Structure formats: C-alpha cells, structure tokens
Amino acid sequence: MSVASNTTAPDIETFHGSSLELKNLTMAYGDIDVLRNVSLTVAPGTTTCIIGPSGSGKSTLLRGVNRLHEPKSGDVLLAGESALQVKPDTLRRRIGMVFQHFNLFPDHTALENVALALWSVKGMSKAQAMERARRRLAEVGLAERADHRPRDLSGGQQQRVAIARALAMEPEVMLFDEATSALDPELVKGVLNLMAGLGKRGMTMLVVTHEMGFARKVADQVVFMDEGEVVEAGTPADLFDNPRSERLQRFLSEVL
C-alpha cells in the first residue's frame, strides 16, 4: 500500500471490471412480472446505458443484478459465474451501487460513510479503513470535505461521496440508478464526468440514466427498455441516429 497524500492529486488507478451477463432475467413484484426475459451482455470494462420511460423496469433490472430484489427466473452471470448461486452479501461486495437519492448515512461524516463498510465488511482496521476512505474521497475531489456530514454537502458532493463509498469496496461492476436525477442542474456535469472517468479507467458500468448526452458520448452500448422488456440494444449511434422501433422513436422525440 503506497503512502497516500491528501493534498495532491492521487495516483490514477485503473480498475479491472468483470463481465456481466443477464440471461432471460424475469423479475416480479408479487404476481406481476415487471421484467420479462431480459438478456444483456456487458463486456469487461465497458459502459452500458439503460434508457427508457419511467416504469419500464430499468431500476428493477439493476436491483436484480445485485439481488436487492431477487429475480424470479433466469440468471445473472458475474465474470462468467452465476450470481444467484452465491450468498447475496458475498455477491454485493463485488458490485457497487449508486442511488438516485445518494442514501448516505446522515449521522456519519463523508469519511465515515466511505470507511464504514471497509471495516465492518472487509474487516480492515479502522485506521486502515479511514486511510483508504480518505484516498477515495480525494479521488472524487472531496479531500477537503472529508469531515462534513451529508447535510452540509451539496447534492453533487453527496453523490460523489456515494460513488467513493462504492468504489472503496473495489467492486468489479458499478451500477448507477439515475445517479444525477436528483441533482441541481449545474452539478450534474461534475458527477457525469466522474462516471465517465471510471469507465475510461476500466470499470464495468451499468448506468440507468435520463442523460441522453451522456449515453451517446460515454456508452459502449445503449439499451432501450419499455414495459419490462429490452426493445432495442446497440451502439449509441445505432439507437440515437437510427432508431428502428416505433417506441424508441417516440421516446427519443419526447426526450431529445
């Protein structure tokens, strides 16, 4: 472990993202199937953006990947192995998730937010955990704000803490659930740039977003979902410039 400095820009680290594959994934709330037979392949170190109208099952899909909601049928493969065969807690250590409303712990400082899972899940000593948390916060440009509580941070800063918190666990895949939807408009770009940076550094990312500009520019693959199904998937150019389905055409005409 190298000696970290809190003041200068930290070393740029590359990630080793794993592949992620959904096979005929079906998810239900009660008797209602909200996700039907979704199949999707995300190559290691690539970014897949999921777009679609509200209620189309985008968030549910993310929650199926880390089993916050257990899939009804089908399979999720992380690095080629079934994610449904391991204990959920073990699986989630390998998958980071960022939420629309940040979900930071309000009674913890930014630093403690990042450090908590490091000592309580990874079993690091508290000193080690704090040390690593400090470095992660520096990476997202928040070294100076380490001792602030969430309520004293802007939405953009809170979301960057949340990203640092997820990254500190050294995940192989990152899930973003409308990470910028709750942000003030001027703060959106900072978070999106940070996410794009992660993608460039080799993280495998599955991003549910309403930011079409981001999807077009950063995504390796864009998936359009509607009514619990994948309607179209392909490169950003495929979907944004040559939408084939009528549903995607209509969706794009509404949001662009």
Partner 1 sequence: MDWLNTIIRTFFDFGAMAEVLPQLLGVGLLNTLIISVAATVLGVVLGMVIAVMGISPSKWLRVPARIYTDLFRGLPAILTILLIGQGFARFSQSVFGPSPYPLGIIALSLIASAYIGEIFRAGILSVDKGQGEACRALGMSYAKSMALVVVPQGVRRVLPALVNQFIAIVKDSSLVYFLGLLVSERELFRVGQDAAVLSGNLSPLVMAGIFYLVITVPLTHLVNYFDNRFRTGRRRPAAPSSGLKEVKELDAASPLITGSNT
The footprint of partner 1 (CB under 8 A) covers 9-10, 12, 66, 68, 88-90, 92-93, 95-97, 99, 101, 103-107, 116-117, 120-121, 139-141, 151, 154, 156-157, 162, 165-166, 169, 184, 186-187, 189-190, 193-200
- Least separation in angstroms between residue 226's CB and partner 1 is 25
Q: Which is nearer to partner 1, 150 or 243 (CB)?
A: 150
Residues 6+ apart with CB under 8 A from 212: 51, 240, 252, 255, 256
Determine contact, residues 247/231, Cβ cutoff 8 Å: yes
Which one-letter amino acid corresponds to residue 96? G
Compute the distance between CA of residue 154 and CA of residue 25 in angstroms, rounded to an integer.
37
3-class state of residue 57 by DSSP: coil
| 53 versus 141: smaller Cβ distance to partner 1 | 141
Strands 81-82 and 20-29: unpaired
Six token digits for residue 81 = 């192995």
Amino acid at 177: D
Q: What is the dihedral of CA 150, 153, 159, 165, to 10 degrees?
A: -50
Distance of CA 14 to the CA centre of its chain: 17
State the minimum distance, in angstroms, from the CB of residue 10 to partner 1. 8
Token pair in block for residue 184? 């003030």
Reading the block at residue 96, the tokens are: 């980071």
Cβ count near 31 (within 10 Å): 5
